[in-house]
Structure 1
Amino acid sequence: MSELPKKLAAAVAAFHCSHIDADFNTDARDCMIDIFPSMEDLLLKMATNQTASSRMKELTLELGVEGCSKLFDAATKSYREQDIPCHADLHMFNIMVEKKPQIDLFSEQDDIFGENGTFCICDWEMTMKGPLGLDMGRVYSIPVACILAHAISGNSDVVDGIIAWLNLYWKEYSDTMTKKSGQSTNFLCKSYRNAMAWLGWKLYAISIFEWFVPFFPIESGDVGSLKESVGVVGFTLMKLGFGEGGEGLTVDDLHSRLNSTISDEIDHIKSSRRGRPSLRRKSSILRQSNRRVSDAFKGMGRESLKKMISDLSQVGLDK
Structure 2
Amino acid sequence: MDTSNKKIRWGIIGLGNIANKFATDLATISNAELYAVASRNQEKANTFAKKHNAKQAYANYEALANDSNIDAVYIATPHTFHKENTILCLQKGIAVLCEKPFAMNSNEVEEMIATAKANKTLLMEALWTYFLPHYQYVLNLLQQKTYGDIKTLHADFGFLRPFDTNSRLFNKSLGGGSLLDIGIYPIFASLSTLGIPDIKEAKATFFENGADASCDMVFSYPKNVKAYLKSSLLEDLPTQAIFKCEKATIKINTQFHAPSTVSIITNESEEIIDFNYNTIGYNFETIHFNNLLLEGKTESDIMTFEFSKNLISTLDEVSHLIGLNY
Structure (1/2) with the larger strand percentage: 2
Q: Specify which structure has the higher proportion of helix.
A: 1
TM-score by length of 2: 0.30
Q: Which has the higher contact order (CA 8 A, sep 6+)?
A: 1
